[in-house]
Amino acid sequence: MTKTKTSLVTGERVVVAVVVSRVILSLPLSLISHGFSLFLLCLSAFLVEIRAETSPFLLSRFSPRRGASSGILLGAVTLPSVMLSKLVQLTRAISLHEAEQDELSHVTMQYWAASASCCAILIYLSVIMSQAKKTESLSSSLWLTRVSLTGTVFYGVACFVSLSMISHTGLNTSLKMLWMLFHGLAAVKLIRHLLCTFPSCASIGEALLVTSGLVLYFGDFLACTIAKICENLIPVDLVSISYGIKRSETGIIVQGLLLGLLLFPMVFRCVLHIYETFLRKRDGGQRNCSDAAKSILFFVSLVFFMVLAVPSWMQFVHDFHQHPFLWVLTFVFSEPLKRISLCIYWVLLIVVSVSRFYSISRSSKVERILLRKYYHLMAVLMFLPALVLQPKFLDLAFGAALAVFVALEIIRIWRVQPLGEPLHHFMNAFTDHRDSELLIVSHFSLLLGCALPIWMSSGFNDRALSPFSGILSLGIGDTMASMVGHKYGVLRWSKTGKKTVEGTAAGITSVMAVCFVLVPVLASMGYILSQGWWSLLLAVTATGMLEAYTAQLDNAFIPLVFYSLLCL
């Protein structure tokens, strides 16, 4: 009995509880229903996580990443907490007449969509675990399964009631309920696909975070398309109000690039199937496409899809009046000295660093996890000056870099000639225990961890440090914690973990020290500084403790948690 009690309280769960409590206690009265739903989501995810870790059935069903806990609680509350913190910030902006009500409606729908995705996945996981009752004899396990399933369903009902209360018309409510249901079903379908297609590549919590984020992003893409198609046909209140807000050209291009590349594998499979069917009909046999022909078809399809199809969607949906790539060239050469010089600086830094670290990784005995922290420092050198001097250009550069990463990973996974095999061997030099040969995610998580807070800080932002949350938490805090902990760490946070008290203290101290230097610089450049030092210390400490206790991919969770706390 003692063992069961002690297993209920872990460092990661305590930190998550502190973060959620901080978000809820910062809510204005107009967002109380949202806070209540977040509390219920946290409680439901807690029950599901306990049930998952007391039974091997769920883990054996999906084969998650080895060495990591399920991470269901952290994965379920991270994105809704971020969206709720953004709502708090927008509420302040509306009170100052710095933002429109439509933008608040848009983020509100995104919050409920993220909550619906997480709720549906929790129900799905609870249903799967309930199927194990025939093989398990412990009555406590059966009781816990029923409680977790009941609690999650109750959370879904509470969300329905809360969303109905803030709606104005019956039609609006019905459309919103249908839209939430779509997100939930899509999330369940996607997480099943991710966990089954890429076994041992992610924990359930990591897959939950990625799934809810992708469904939210794809849902926004679909809503924008529906809004344009239905613009002159039917009055779709859901789309016209929540998704008809003005968007920046950079955001449109980044969304088009990323979603186009994520959809491209399905498009290429269809093209390849059509081509092979044509060959069989022409030759009257079972002839398949050769590897060389597949490679040519792959690159031709990729260029056509990304240069013609995706830009056509951008121009149709968002009324782009010129080809997006021409807009990018015009944007870059509008300040050629600053932006081209920045590109040259990035290229030189990448070439020198990658060649140096690659040779070290092949010949040195330096631990991979420590070697990879040098890339975190490289991210600071690349992104910090650009974020201060050229933030709009950095938004676009992040999107271009992420698009290149996605394209290269597709080529590596499919071994597309002639780049696939050399790229696979090159990338393996920078992997560690959290990566697998099937899918390498560390470079994605580092880039996204730095980019997401910057992208989400577009528009009104009265917390000048929030765009820096990824760079500070990963480039400074995580790096210093690993280096100091590896060299000087003695006191460990747990008997089984490798994280040390000395490393965590170094990470927290280094982030605070950089903030003390960064705040006067930002103030001199006219940034709005309204962040209290005590709230900043709480955010930095909570993030540092999460890094110390979590067994999840910290590049994915830490920047988002830090960002949500900085926005309050």
Q: 194-206 pLDDT, tens per residue?
A: 888 888 788 889 9
**Do 213 and 265 belong together in one domain?**
no
Residue 406 lies in a domain: yes
Q: What is the pLDDT of residue 540?
A: 93
Q: What is the pLDDT of residue 421?
A: 85
Task: Print the domain residue range for 555.
Answer: 338-383+434-567
Quote the number of domains for the chain.
Answer: 3
The answer to whether residue 3 scores a pLDDT higher than 60 is: no
The answer to whether residue 5 scores a pLDDT higher than 60 is: no
Sign of CA pseudo-dihedral 61, 65, 71, 74: negative
How does residue 82 score in pLDDT terms, banded at 50, 70 and 90? very high
**Do 536 and 419 belong together in one domain?**
no
The answer to whether residue 412 scores a pLDDT higher than 70 is: yes
34 neighbors 171 (Cβ within 8 angstroms): no
How many C-beta atoms surround the C-beta of residue 392 within 10 A? 14
Residue 3 lies in a domain: no
The answer to whether residue 521 scores a pLDDT higher than 50 is: yes
Residue 49 lies in a domain: yes
Average pLDDT over residues 79-94: 92
Q: What is the pLDDT of residue 141?
A: 54
Residue 5 lies in a domain: no
Q: What is the pLDDT of residue 468?
A: 92
DSSP structure class, residue 463? B
Q: What is the pLDDT of residue 561?
A: 95
Average pLDDT over residues 504-513: 93
**Do 30 and 138 belong together in one domain?**
yes
Nearest to 423 by CA among 433, 411, 437: 411
Phi-psi region of 320 (alpha: psi -120 to 50; beta: other; left: phi over 0): beta
Q: What is the pLDDT of residue 558?
A: 93
**Do 452 and 479 belong together in one domain?**
yes
% of the chain with per-residue pLDDT over 70: 81
How many C-beta atoms surround the C-beta of residue 253 within 10 A? 25
Q: Residue 513 corresponds to which tokens in the numbers above? A: 């020290």
- Mean residue pLDDT of the chain comes to 81
Nearest to 103 by CA among 456, 454, 398: 456
Q: Specify which residues 500 forms β-bridges with.
A: 492
Residue 1 lies in a domain: no
Q: Which of 172-176, 278-282, 369-373, 467-471 has the highest mean pLDDT?
A: 467-471
Average pLDDT over residues 382-392: 88
Q: What is the pLDDT of residue 156?
A: 63
The answer to whether residue 555 scores a pLDDT higher than 90 is: no
Q: Which residue, 219, 246, 273, sits at the end of a domain?
A: 246
How far apart are alpha carbons 298 and 415 in whole angstroms? Answer: 11
Q: Residue 344 corresponds to which tokens in the numbers above? A: 């040259």
The answer to whether residue 497 scores a pLDDT higher than 80 is: no
Residue 6 lies in a domain: no
**Do 399 and 355 belong together in one domain?**
no
The answer to whether residue 169 scores a pLDDT higher than 80 is: no
* Digit-coded pLDDT (tens) for 230-247: 765 544 444 444 444 567
How many C-beta atoms surround the C-beta of residue 413 within 10 A? 17
How does residue 171 score in pLDDT terms, banded at 50, 70 and 90? very low
**Do 135 and 213 belong together in one domain?**
yes
The answer to whether residue 36 scores a pLDDT higher than 50 is: yes
Q: What is the pLDDT of residue 506?
A: 92
**Do 161 and 292 belong together in one domain?**
no
335 vs 144 pLDDT, higher one: 335
Q: Which of 61-70, 145-154, 227-236 has the highest mean pLDDT?
A: 61-70
Q: Which of 74-88, 356-370, 402-416 has the lowest mean pLDDT?
A: 356-370
The answer to whether residue 51 scores a pLDDT higher than 60 is: yes
Q: Which of 21-30, 74-83, 284-293, 443-452 has the lowest mean pLDDT?
A: 284-293
How does residue 318 score in pLDDT terms, banded at 50, 70 and 90? confident
The answer to whether residue 79 scores a pLDDT higher than 60 is: yes
* Digit-coded pLDDT (tens) for 452-470: 999 988 777 778 888 999 9
* Digit-coded pLDDT (tens) for 428-442: 776 666 666 677 887
495 neighbors 467 (Cβ within 8 angstroms): no
Q: Which residue, 246, 276, 295, sits at the end of a domain?
A: 246
**Do 255 and 240 belong together in one domain?**
no
% of the chain with per-residue pLDDT over 90: 22
How far apart are alpha carbons 79 and 83 in whole angstroms? Answer: 6
How does residue 6 score in pLDDT terms, banded at 50, 70 and 90? very low
Residue 98 lies in a domain: yes
**Do 240 and 99 belong together in one domain?**
yes
Q: What is the pLDDT of residue 368?
A: 63
Residue 4 lies in a domain: no
**Do 212 and 331 belong together in one domain?**
no
Q: Which residue, 246, 264, 279, sits at the end of a domain?
A: 246
How far apart are alpha carbons 393 and 382 in whole angstroms? Answer: 13
How does residue 2 score in pLDDT terms, banded at 50, 70 and 90? very low
50: Cβ contacts below 8 Å, ≥ 6 apart: 7, 8, 144, 148
How many C-beta atoms surround the C-beta of residue 244 within 10 A? 17
103 neighbors 245 (Cβ within 8 angstroms): yes
Residue type, 390: Q
**Do 217 and 82 belong together in one domain?**
yes
444 vs 212 pLDDT, higher one: 212
**Do 263 and 288 belong together in one domain?**
yes
Q: What is the pLDDT of residue 165?
A: 58
